Amino acid sequence: MSSLLVDNIGELVTNLAGGGEGGPLGIRRRAALLVEAGEVAWVGPARDAPAADRRIDAEGAAVLPGFVDSHAHLVFAGDRAAEFAARMAGQPYTGGGIRTTVGATRAATDDELRVTVRRLRGEALRQGTTTIEIKSGYGLTVADEARSLRIAAEVTPETTFLGAHVVPTEYADRPDDYVGLVCGPMLAAAAPHARWIDVFCERGAFDIDHARAILACGQAVGLGVRVHANQLGPGPGVQLGVELGAASVDHCTHLSDADLDALASTRMDWTSGTETTTVATLLPGAEFSTRSPYPDARRLLDAGVTVALATDCNPGSSYTSSMPFCVALAVREMRMTPAEAVWAATAGGARALRRDDVGVLRPGARADLIILDAPSHLHLAYRPGVPLIRQVLHNGVPQCRP
Ligand code: NIG
Ligand code: FE
């Protein structure tokens, strides 16, 4: 079995609490890391590094777990650059443009969708994203939702059925019938290709009763729950997510104290060893691209809520695949420290996907890691917009340099 040593690491972010200098990142200085069979086999001081078949010299740079982007919508056709321009000229974002993308997606061939998914997946990987969740939600017919998930599953195991993104035009005057379709034939066709189910629970999309019914149907066939919640205004989505044991509630831009308390009350169940924390996943690319107020990450963190950062990459509200950009936004605009933001973009995303094999660098974890063109994780926020990802290892395999 061939081994690979990443040596001469100036700052190694392990995300193991108590694993290094203290703080959430578990930082080790002058470290090395051994990779075998796609996994981390050993982590320790560079002076004790074992022999290996191959060696990468990190030249004193920082090494981090690969980013875990736990919220992306990559299966679509067309773009909405004109809608973005109109917003920058003062138009509000309402989510109404989703139907434009639905029309383009339905008209696209499988191969056209596949090319877009692979292009965006590649773009994300070059920026350090080694785990990505991909949702359906721009098909909204049985066949189009099923093929969206099939194509997503070609590039990631983290696939999410979002048939309840909006009520499509042809069902506009009979939303109950659409919910019946989602819970019936659409779920049956989607579930074999999906790990998760999601609903856009918002005024103008799905109300709490419809959202609860759809999520419960998904749970009944074994899908995990996530919710698009409290994005455009206050609403019941966050508390519904907590009630149903969602792995994550996403957006969380408009939160009441009761929403905060509900999130803070969720936690790991140590007696059964099961993770029942509901993570608040913040998507600052959406606030950036819709020119909206950012969620208050500080308030969530100070209340003890587990926070993740993700891109929400989609053609309408957030057309970025860049986790470094989201880290920089979170620090500058959402009052997160650089350490909190880096943790949220790696370990936080892993929690939001209920994964313990990614977002962390310890023996037995996936060998998914980033070597920065910088001496410290601080530079991700300190040097915004700069391509700092020097090298990415995915499953222990060095990817082409960007
Ligand atoms: O997460 N809010 C709902 N869905 C997407 C936006 C989709 C779109 O505008 O096309 C989001 O922001
Ligand atoms: Fe989204």
Least confidently predicted of 112-126, 177-191, 267-281, 347-361:
267-281
Whole-number pLDDT of residue 106:
98
Whole-number pLDDT of residue 267:
85
Length of the chain counted residue by residue: 402
User: Who lines ligand 1 at CB under 6 A?
Assistant: 95, 97-98, 101, 200, 228, 231, 286, 312, 314-318
b/e burial code for range 125-139 (CB count within 10 A of at least 16 → b): bbbbbbbbbbbbbbb
Mean pLDDT score across all residues of the chain: 96
Measured N-to-C along each axis, helices 110-126 and 142-153 cross at an angle, to the nearest 10 degrees, of 40
Over residues 127-160, the pLDDT tens digits come to 999 999 999 999 999 999 999 999 999 999 999 9
Separation of first and last alpha carbons in the chain: 28
**Which is the closest atom of ligand 1 to the Cα of 200?**
3
CA of 354 to the centre of ligand 2 (A): 18
**Smallest CA separation from ligand 1 atom 12, residue:** 317
CATH of domain 67-352: 3.20.20.140
Over residues 28-77, the pLDDT tens digits come to 999 999 999 999 999 999 999 999 999 999 999 999 999 999 999 999 99
Q: What is the amino acid identity at position 81?
A: A
**Which is the closest atom of ligand 1 to the Cα of 251?**
1
CA of 165 to the centre of ligand 2 (A): 9
Token pair for residue 320?
């970025």
What is the model's pTM?
0.97
Over residues 253-286, the pLDDT tens digits come to 999 999 999 999 998 788 888 888 999 999 999 9
Q: Please enumerate, by residue number, every residue annotated as part of a binding site.
A: 71, 73, 80, 138, 165, 228, 231, 312, 314, 316-317
CA of 165 to the centre of ligand 1 (A): 8
CATH of domain 3-65+360-398: 2.30.40.10
Domain locations along the chain: 3-65+360-398, 67-352
CA of 269 to the centre of ligand 2 (A): 28
Whole-number pLDDT of residue 19:
63
b/e burial code for range 187-218 (CB count within 10 A of at least 16 → b): bebbbebbbbbbbbbbeebbeeebbbbbbebb
**Smallest CA separation from ligand 1 atom 3, residue:** 200
| φ, ψ dihedrals at 329, nearest 5° | -60, -40
How many Å apart are CA 28 and CA 44, to the nearest integer? 8
Contacts of residue 99, defined as CB under 8 A and 6 or more positions apart, other chains included, come to: 166, 168, 169
Element counts in the chain: helices (H) and strands (E): 15, 17
**Smallest CA separation from ligand 1 atom 1, residue:** 312
